[in-house]
Structure 1
Amino acid sequence: MKPLTDKNLTTLRKFLKTRILNNTEFVGHRDERLQVRDLLQRTIESGESNSALLIGPRGSGKTTLVRDVLKDLDFKSDAILVQLHGLVHTDDRLALKSITSQMKLDNAVDGKVFGSFADNLAFLLACLKSGQRGTAKSVIFVIEEFDLFCSHHNQTLLYNLFDVSQSAQTPICVLGVTCRLDVIELLEKRVKSRFSHRQIFLFMGTDETRGQSNLEYRLERLKAFLLIHNDETLDVSASFKKEWNAHVGSLLKDKNFKSVMQRLLDVDLSEKSLKNILMVVVSQLDDTNNKLTHQAFLEQVQRFEKDEIVQVLQDLSVLELTLLISMKHHCEIYDNQPMNFEMVYNRYLKFANSNSNVQTAERPVVMKAFEQIQNLELVSMLGSGNSGIQKEYQLFKLLLLPLQLADAIKKTPGLPTEVVQYANSSLI
């Protein structure tokens, strides 16, 4: 490609960065999107009250999906949208104040709305219950970080919202968005009984609707970010557009570049990581570096892979590392299902007893090592952790990626050969 002029370079960088930042298009997961759209549409158009949870890992596109559906429906005159967030509305009082404001009920009773929580709640419920199905405006409640609302006192707000959603009064739809797969277990019994138990799962991975692998789909997304289309207004020459598109096309076909993209996919399937790396690589374009190279992407992927967790793992004892390896094997065998200390301890014993050179640690010592792993937040307890279950049977999940553990094992000097082989072995 010919050297870029300062004007062309500035124009190109600005254009690509604006596209990367502003591209909020929701792609894939057509069935899940249709389910959410149908749910909200029935509430808005038919006055049907509903409740549901949209569940999936961080970066899977839950919030983008909801925003895309809301934009598509465009129901400003037919319904009221109320948005709540668990990190912002940390208790029911703040949430209720926000609901009152978003429903424009602040001055409905001459300032009495800002009285006690009980008065505010009673007033809100009276407003919702006074409406009639088919005539009252529908209310859509979108609750982000839904699991954080489960820690509110007595889950009062959730109970009342779900209770109204089961009535034939003002039509409302409560849509909770969360990354907690066990969120139903966090609901109190009275709240759970009023929830519809409708769950929509959104997972990252192969887009089956397109029949593509993750890598093929990722390359298609790169085309959408980097190619310059003929109908787009960009103050550069037509010949430059043609050269740039040819360069991008050859890059996407390069085996080394595909290998780098696969490496990124092995670490993180979310599009957010790709966009972060793209922003850095595009920003590096200058007079001496006017091409996108697989080496530039590789450097950013390597930086992305560098993780403080790996350093923490390198400082663990041999016993603590062995327990983490046992947890990793459990996750692989049981498809990331929760586990408890007893399961991990039994798997550790199986390993230790099958290797005569490994000295088996006493149970209290293993428990102490497990508690240290907890303190370092390498595992996360499910639920409140003080529900009366003995700590040996309290369920938890592993917060490590297999790649992080493998990297730490490789970089930790002096590990017994048996432990290294255990980490690299097939499922035990």
Structure 2
Amino acid sequence: MRRLTKAQQALAASNLIFTVGSGMYLTAGVLYFTEAAHLPNGQVGLGLLIAGLVALLLGVGVGHLADRHGARRVYTVTLIVQAVATAAFLLAYDFWPFVAIVSLATGSKAAGVAARSPLIRRYGGERPQEFRAYLRAVTNVGISFGALGAGWAVQVGTTSAYSTMIWAIALLTLASAAFLAFVPTVDPAPATGSRRWIALRDRPYLLLTALDGVMAIQFKVLTVAVPLWIVGATTAPRWLISATMLTGTVMVVVFQVRASRGVDSPAAGALAYRRAGFAFLAACALIPLTAGMSPLGASMLLLAAIVVHTVGELWHAAAGFEVSFALAPEHATGQYLGVFGLGAGLAEAVGPGLLIWLCIEWGRPGWYIVGALFALSGVAAPVVVWWASRVAQSTRHPRESDGARRVAPVTRRPRESDGHVALRR
């Protein structure tokens, strides 16, 4: 097992603490707004849509700031802002205050993802994609603990229990920011002679971002659609909400690094996208069958669907790690990963409302439409990745970045000299 450096340990510790709070929010955030703040489902979906649009506007700009003014400093600020906004959820009892507060929280979270990217590239070793996969495994350890706390709040179901959960999330986010003091600073990237917003002019990378964003709606299936489906359309017990979250997170902890190990080129990433799309289609075909079943039958089928969905999630995440880093020049990592984060922003903006409308309001046919959307995105991925790789190969100097080195020989067999040393837990 390769030993983590001190910088990697600090990043992992910060990530672990942050994601315990994220696990609480992902598991029960929607239920807090609907059951404790008493906002209608439709207003929650619309508010999350607006918040996602705000996040779309912030990611690229903050990523560019991280490249030019120091990633650690910018990332710390985003975490502090997010902590304050999370605490303010306790004031979100009307629609417009809810929109303003959740927009600030969602926007700062998206900005933080972009600001952290140069830190991962700088301290991630020879293949930062693999360290990113390791961080995702750590993320899901944190989420699993957070899901347990959220399960308590959901089971108790009182306003006081939900408020305690919100305070815990805010404090954990502040603690995560404090741990960044143990991460060395990253020198700002030197200015280049190229145009400033090069990522926004990279058309195939933008198309790839949009494609990944459509598929990233799958993350909202487990955090928005499944909890509301369990509560409103099945006889399954409410504790199954935490059980489904824990099932997925444990699978990611155990298998994410292993799944990413074989996705070591843009071409392999494209194939992983395609496999993920079909796995999501299968899961979306199983979930609506639970309506009208007995509590035990619904619980067993839902857990089986979550297993299938999570297999797709492993492939989707591995594909995103590879193509987003491999096709981004090193001097503009924050900017490019900020652009790629627009896909997650698209999922944040469109995903909750779309899933509530199709899967919850419409019901079974909506689940089939969502599954087909994922499958079509996966089928389109190889063509888009091929185009992006060709453009990257023709426009970047081979020594410009580690990502460019990996793009040029897309179809060759990887060699040990490429630095394919896998992180193991």
Output the TM-score relative to the length of structure 1: 0.25
Bigger relative contact order, structure 1 or 2, given CA contacts below 8 A and separation 6+? 2
Richer in helix (by share): 2
Higher Rg of the two aligned structures: 1
Structure with the higher strand share, 1 or 2? 1
